[in-house]
């Protein structure tokens, strides 16, 4: 039996971020009380969220232009090492984390902000670890060289 040509990720990363964010917002936020957070937090969080959403879109689009899949449960066809991938091996997860933080700030949910590191631990050990093992196995030295040059997050 041959190994599947994917990282074997069991948790869709956007759903992981969304689950932690939803718990934080539902248990502690201005939004759950049907009101906005302070103007300052709403604007700050909104700007952070919009900028990170743009960065997320650009990083995800890079997969399409490179002819690879963005979904971690589909085969990776190439190592992308330019654009955002020149500075981070995981710019999409980085953008998702910053987007999460922006939404949590805009919602005035300090619980969601506190939960973000726990979400990142899940992403790191249950998503990124599987992806890195898969990429090392599939691309060997090419990926190991890339991994040595570029940090995981920033």
pLDDT (0 to 100) of residue 1: 63
pLDDT (0 to 100) of residue 33: 86
Please give the DSSP secondary-structure letter assigned to residue 85: G
For residue 3, name the pLDDT band (cuts at 50, 70, 90). confident
Q: Which of 106, 109, 127, 116 is nearest to 51 (CA)?
A: 106
Are 102 and 46 contacting, i.e. CB atoms less than 8 angstroms apart?
Answer: yes
Query: What size, in residues, is the chain?
Result: 154
pLDDT digits (tens, 9 = 90+) for 93-135: 999 999 999 999 999 999 999 999 999 999 999 999 999 999 9
pTM, full prediction: 0.95
Chain centre to alpha carbon of residue 82: 18
| Sign of the CA dihedral with 57 first, then 115, 132, and 81 last | positive
State the chain's mean pLDDT as an integer: 96
Q: What is the mean pLDDT of residues 69-86?
A: 94
Cβ-proximal residues to 77 (8 Å cutoff; 6+ apart), any chain = 66, 67, 68, 69
Residue with tokens 């249950």: 126
């Amino acid at each position: 039996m041959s190994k599947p040509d994917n990282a074997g990720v069991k948790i869709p990363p956007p759903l992981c971020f969304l689950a932690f964010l939803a718990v934080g917002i539902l248990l502690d936020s201005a939004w759950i009380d049907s009101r906005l957070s302070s103007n300052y937090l709403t604007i700050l969080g909104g700007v952070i969220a919009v900028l990170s959403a743009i960065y997320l879109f650009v990083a995800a689009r890079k997969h399409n232009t490179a002819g690879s899949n963005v979904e971690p449960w589909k085969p990776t066809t190439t190592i992308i090492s330019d654009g955002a991938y020149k500075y981070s091996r995981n710019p999409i997860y980085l953008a998702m984390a910053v987007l999460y933080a922006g939404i949590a700030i805009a919602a005035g949910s300090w619980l969601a902000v506190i939960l973000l590191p726990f979400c990142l631990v899940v992403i790191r050990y249950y998503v990124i670890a599987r992806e890195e093992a898969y990429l090392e196995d599939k691309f060997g030295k090419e990926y190991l060289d890339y991994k040595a040059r570029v940090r995981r997050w920033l």
